[in-house]
Amino acid sequence: MTKIIGLTGGIGSGKTTIAKLFEAEGIPIYISDEEAKKIMSLPETVKAIETVFGPEVILNQQIDRKKLAAIVFNDETQLKVLNEIVHPLVKKHFEDWVQAKQNFPFIIKEAAILFESGSDQFCDKIITVTASQETRIKRVMQRDHVSEQEVLERMKNQWSDEERIAKSDFVIENENFESAKVKFYEILKILKNL
């Protein structure tokens, strides 16, 4: 049975960087956010979101991500509603994906909100990637071309590093890529022997 290893961390912690290291080792990676974006562009998902959030969040038959984000990142109830539409679809997609990867000893499920969505309960082991808040804010501002305030708003909807670490099997401090890489290879060795 293929083991599911959860890979999580706050926005800007460098989860994707660590995921790429796994990928370079030939380990299948499921990037939840990317898959969710694909699922959100399916006509049936667009329709469901339009029904709930109204036509103002739709632009050229697609979801206007900026408008939808403005609604859900400032309102916990609305975020919960959106997650109730998208999460079951992503969960089903992930289950099908895992079925197709049964010849691998383990796969990586990268998800920013692994704990918040309850997906952690389906993981055999969990790795949390951390970095200082200052570093994370800087990374996200550069990557997404957003203000510090917008980054802090997004962070507000995620668990703290302390909460994540308390429920994780491994932690990779990703302040410095070289030391993060060393820790990655230590963990990889352990996972290969599960």
Q: Which three-class secondary structure string do you get for 162-174?
A: HHHHHCCCEEEEC
Residue 118, annotated as binding a ligand? no
**Cross-strand pairs, 131:** none
**CB-neighbour burial class of residue 156 (10 A; exposed 0-12, middle 13-18, buried 19+):** exposed
Residues 149 and 122 in one domain: yes
Average pLDDT over residues 48-74: 92
* Helix, strand or coil, per DSSP, at residue 50: helix
Residue linked to tokens 């550069």: 142
Domain stop point among 78, 100, 122: 100
- Give the structural domain span for 123: 1-28+104-194
At residue 111, the pLDDT reads 93
At residue 169, the pLDDT reads 98
Residues 116 and 69 in one domain: no
Residues 111 and 184 in one domain: yes
CATH number for the domain spanning 59: value is 3.40.50.300
Residues 140 and 193 in one domain: yes
Residues 88 and 16 in one domain: no
Residue 17, annotated as binding a ligand? yes
At residue 76, the pLDDT reads 85
Residues 18 and 110 in one domain: yes
Q: Please state, for a pLDDT cut of 90, what percent of the chain lies above it.
A: 80
Residue 10, annotated as binding a ligand? no
Residue 91 has pLDDT above 90, yes or no: no
- The amino acid that residue 71 corresponds to is I
Domain stop point among 100, 118, 136: 100
Residue 15, annotated as binding a ligand? yes
At residue 33, the pLDDT reads 87
Which pLDDT tens digit goes with each residue over 102-161? 999 999 999 988 998 889 999 999 999 999 999 999 999 999 999 999 899 889 878 999
Cβ atoms 57, 68 nearer than 8 A: yes
Residue 14, annotated as binding a ligand? yes
Model pTM? 0.86
Residues 90 and 121 in one domain: no
Residue 182 has pLDDT above 90, yes or no: yes
Residue 51, annotated as binding a ligand? no
